[in-house]
Structure 1
Amino acid sequence: MSTIRPMRPKHLFHISSTNLDALTETYNIGFYLEYLTKWPELCHVIEGIDGNIEGYILGKLESSPYPPPTSPYDPDTNPDPNYLPWHGHITALTVAPAARRLGHATRLSEALEKASDANSAWFVDLFVRASNDIAIDLYRKMGYSVFRRVANYYNDDEDAFDMRKPLTRDVDRKHVRENGEDFRVRPEVVW
């Protein structure tokens, strides 16, 4: 049985085996430590029975830097379609190749979604390569949908899908849309 635990700095010395996938982004240690300092409740590891790290998630809570002109925020009266209200964000989610298909990604995501919901976030979002069909299918099964396609998002100019899952606060599902794959934006409008 695997166990979800809060990520601690000591775990950073044991996550390299989870980053063996070519589609997994690997960051420098300062990046991980920044997340652990600012959003410790949104960073978790999943540990196998042998004590090895089988996966992890890095998350944060954020909104666009400039508030909308009307307060309080309402998706119906906000004139900026690219404004992001208070939301949870999955920065990194990865599972070691040997521990895949065990539900780890779902369990890690649910932990972040629960914490985001407790902080009154509207939704949780993430970015995934448009060619990563396996991850896109997994996120769809977890209730995420494509909100928009971000052209040339990655360093190699591949597009990204901005995928979202509405939380309790978004009762009317105003922060998700149908056919988001067809709604293209440039990276500079994505905050």
Structure 2
Amino acid sequence: MEDILENKGEVKKKIPISLITIRSAKLFDIPYIMRIEQASFREKYPRGLFLTFLESNPDTFLVAEYNGKVVGYVMGYLRPDMEGHIMSIAVDPSYRGNGIGKALMIAVINKLFKKGARWIGLEVRVSNTIAINLYKKLGFKITKRIYSYYSDGEDAFYMVLTPEEWEKVNSG
């Protein structure tokens, strides 16, 4: 495995995506998920939320694992109106740039559409261009701007993926 120094001084681990396993999250994963959450977001979810989410959405709370270590997670769920929703996704900063976020998104999107989602939505900070670009590559479209969505006053984009767009992404 090769370490690459990025301009922020962080050591990035370069790994082949074929060595990443995507699986359902388990109770013992929660401390590792919380560490990734702490390293990734200004606004953090409390432990209880992860536990409740795991209990109510075991099929769509996924982790990415490398050499037995949780290096990313995604939380998706199906609303009563059959809208799929991506609540959170994050990858350990040391493992970013390896396609792990994309692999997690593909896995949860497939699960949500298989469960009958009519579309999938998510919110993303307008400043998070890396995530926005990934979501666009996966077929998501910006449908609206939500002003002052985050507690620090930053706006969010609401992005939507339809089954038709997902089919286009997968066929071309």
Do they fold alike, i.e. is TM over 0.5?
yes
1:156-167 alignment, distance < 5 Å: 156-167=152-163
CA contact (8 A) 1:130 1:160 kept: yes
Aligned to 1:146: 142
Please state if 1:42 is matched with 2:38. Answer: no
Please state if 1:15 is matched with 2:38. Answer: no
Kindly indicate which of the two structures has a greater share of residues assigned to helix: 2
Aligned to 2:71: 54
Q: Shift of the alpha carbon at 1:40?
A: 0.8
1:1-191 alignment, distance < 5 Å: 1-23=19-41, 25-49=43-67, 51-63=68-80, 85-167=81-163
Kindly indicate which of the two structures has a greater share of residues assigned to strand: 2
Moved more, 162-171 or 96-105: 162-171
- Give structure 1 stretches of 5+ with no counterpart: 64-84, 172-191
User: Identity, % of aligned pairs?
Assistant: 32
Structure 1-normalised TM-score? Answer: 0.72
CA gap 1:25/1:95 in 2 versus in 1, 3 angstroms = farther
CA contact (8 A) 1:20 1:97 kept: no
Once the two structures are superposed, what CA deviation does each residue of 1:60-91 show, in whole Å capped at 9, x if it has no partner? 1104xxxxxxxxxxxxxxxxxxxxx4111111
Secondary structure at 1:146's aligned position in 2?
Answer: strand
CA contact (8 A) 2:84 2:117 kept: yes
Question: What one-letter code is carried by the residue in structure 2 that aligns with 1:57?
Answer: V
Once the two structures are superposed, what CA deviation does each residue of 1:15-68 show, in whole Å capped at 9, x if it has no partner? 24423545464211110111111111110111112x1111001111104xxxxx
CA contact (8 A) 2:40 2:92 kept: no
CA gap 1:24/1:114 in 2 versus in 1, 3 angstroms = farther
CA contact (8 A) 2:76 2:87 kept: yes
Q: Shift of the alpha carbon at 1:123?
A: 1.1
CA contact (8 A) 1:150 1:160 kept: yes
Moved more, 22-31 or 124-133: 22-31
| Equivalent-residue separation in structure 2 for 1:53 and 1:170 (angstroms) | 27
Aligned to 2:7: none
Structure 2-normalised TM-score? Answer: 0.79
Aligned to 1:68: none
| Equivalent-residue separation in structure 2 for 1:20 and 1:30 (angstroms) | 15
CA contact (8 A) 1:122 1:168 kept: no
Secondary structure at 2:59's aligned position in 1?
Answer: helix
